[in-house]
Amino acid sequence: MNTFNINRRNFLKGAMATLAMSQFGTYGMDLINPSKPYRVGLIGAGWYGKSDLFKLIQVVPVEVVALCDVDKNMLNGAAEMVSKRQKSGKTPKLYGDYRKLLSENELDIVLIGTPDHWHALNMIDAVKKGANVYVQKPISVDVMEGEAMLAAARKYNKAVQVGMQRRSTPIFIEAKRDYIESGLIGRIKHVEMCCYYPMRNNTNPPIKPVPDFLDYEMWTGPAPLRPYDNLPHRGWWRAFREYGNGIVGDMCVHMYDAARWMLDLGWPTKITSVGGIYLQKEGKSNISDTQTAVFEHGDLNCVWQHRSWGTSPDPDYPWALFIYGENGTLKLSTTRYDWVPLNGKSVRKDVAYEREKYPEDLKEPGIELHAAPATRAHMLDFVAAIEGNKRPVSDIEQGYISTTACILANISMDLGRPLVYDPENKVVKNDPEATMKLSRNYRSPWEHPDFRKV
């Protein structure tokens, strides 16, 4: 065994020990350094791709070797930021095609921050090239993509962490331990989840020429090619189901995955969803502005509700998870939790920010300061999985289950009936029409991945 591996294992032992204290905001990297940093590549250098990369840089010794993005302006800006952040000060190699990035570099870790319609091809190609992968949620835009991603991770024996970092959020970990695992909450028979953010883009921009700095053909990739009408980054592409799964795929997947993790829930037995564009009809967006979904787990239902208009019924919890037990209610968001007992005194716990320990956070454009500690912990868990040849807390299989459930909720809404998915046979039971919707056509020349052939 070489010194590199020994040192990295020693480093990770210390890192994981500090991770156990992360709920108090005290973990850090004043630890034994490995003899060589991890070689890292980033595919998708936009807002959250960069944010994930910067959190990895903060807690694990890395050398960012290469960046890829189809927007040259965004790519060049990311390269400048990375050169200032990483210890070596080097500027990464830059690419407009992720396949070239993977073929020309030996990488230990690949981060994927592309829009949802690219996740499957990016992740599968990366593990085939020998990299471990951190992929943003939801893992896919159709169910069979997720099947192929899971199959690839297992075939090539790579750690794949999904960016559903509620599983590494300190206040969620604490609440799970103190109220659920302790039994204090009692029997749990109902869960509610919601999002009432006005986050659905409802504009109607005209068709425009594609700017010379954007490779729109490559940005679109396997998805249907929409006429170009706006820079697709961040708020615009999420308005269309050509590229994602709406607010259910973006926001419900986080809270539903958190509920599954906290309550040790597997596959839902039935999914029913209703909704549509009820109010915000002025713009081009084709995602629902109002939707309810019920994920059944035996005698426990997880119920989702979103509205991108109006007000939140609980101003303190506009995007939240509510776990109802016989002895009280646990209310959780990304910034706080409240324990409201049937009898006794309520308890509130706010997220612990780490501005003093990581002052560079304050200079990061668009950073979600409340989520930064969770993402750092998520990165440490990911690297521990790589070192220990084990599955991370948000393993691709868990991401696949939570993502698939949200995709099925949209299919249920579209078809107007409940769905029962059979993950063994990969069909919707007694529903050939719904089964046909588990995979969508790819735009030529891209080929849809097949879980039997990855």
405-442 pLDDT tens trace? 999 999 999 999 999 999 999 999 999 999 999 999 99
Residues 9 and 36 in one domain: yes
Whether residue 245 sits in one domain with residue 378? no
Q: pLDDT, tens digit, for every residue of 96-150?
A: 999 999 999 999 999 999 999 999 999 999 999 999 999 999 999 999 999 999 9
Q: Are residues 64 and 184 in the same domain?
A: no
Residue among 384, 387, 372, 388 nearest 58 (CA):
372
Rounded to 5 degrees, φ, ψ at 24 are -100, 10
Which H or E run contains 148? helix 143-155
CA distances from 277 to 308, 309, 434 (A): 10, 11, 21
Statement: residue 228 has pLDDT above 70:
yes
Is residue 360 one of the residues assigned to a domain?
no
Q: Domain limits at 303?
A: 169-354+400-436
**Taking the model in full, what pTM does it have?**
0.93
448 part of a folded domain: no
In Å, the largest CA–CA distance within the chain is 64
Residue 445 domain-assigned (yes or no)? no
List own/partner pairs for 30-35 with CB under 8 A and 24 or more apart.
Answer: 32/7, 33/7, 33/61, 34/4, 34/7, 34/8, 34/61, 35/3, 35/4, 35/7, 35/8
Q: Are residues 342 and 420 both part of a single domain? A: yes
Give a yes or no: residue 454 inside a domain: no
Q: Are residues 106 and 66 in the same domain?
A: yes
Rounded CA gap, 106 and 131, in Å? 8
| Beta strand ranges found along 131-262 (DSSP E) | 132-135, 160-162, 188-195
Does one domain contain both 384 and 405?
Answer: no
63 with 208, same domain: the answer is no
- Let me know whether 345 and 287 are in one domain: yes
Instruction: Say what percent of the chain tops pLDDT 90.
Output: 90
Q: Is residue 246 part of a domain?
A: yes
Question: What is the helix (H) or strand (E) element at residue 292, kind and residue range?
Answer: strand 290-297
Residue 202 exposure: Cα atoms within 13 Å on the Cβ side: 13
User: What pLDDT, in 10s, does the model give residues 306-350?
Assistant: 999 999 999 999 999 999 999 999 999 999 999 999 999 999 999
Tokens at residue 305, please? Answer: 């509700």
Looking at the structure, do residues 419 and 303 belong to the same domain, yes or no?
yes
**Beta strand 319-325 with 188-195: parallel, antiparallel or unpaired?**
antiparallel
Is residue 361 in some structural domain? no
| 116, part of any domain | yes
CA distance 156 to 454: 9
Indicate whether 140 and 102 sit together in one domain. Answer: yes
CATH of residue 60's domain is 3.40.50.720
Count of structural domains within the chain: 2
CATH number of the domain encompassing residue 218: 3.30.360.10
Which tokens is 108 given? 């230990």
Give yes or no: residues 118 and 223 share one domain: no
Say if residue 140 is in the same domain as residue 236.
no
How far apart (Å, rounded) are the C-alpha atoms in residues 30 and 128?
34
- Whether residue 446 lies inside any domain: the answer is no
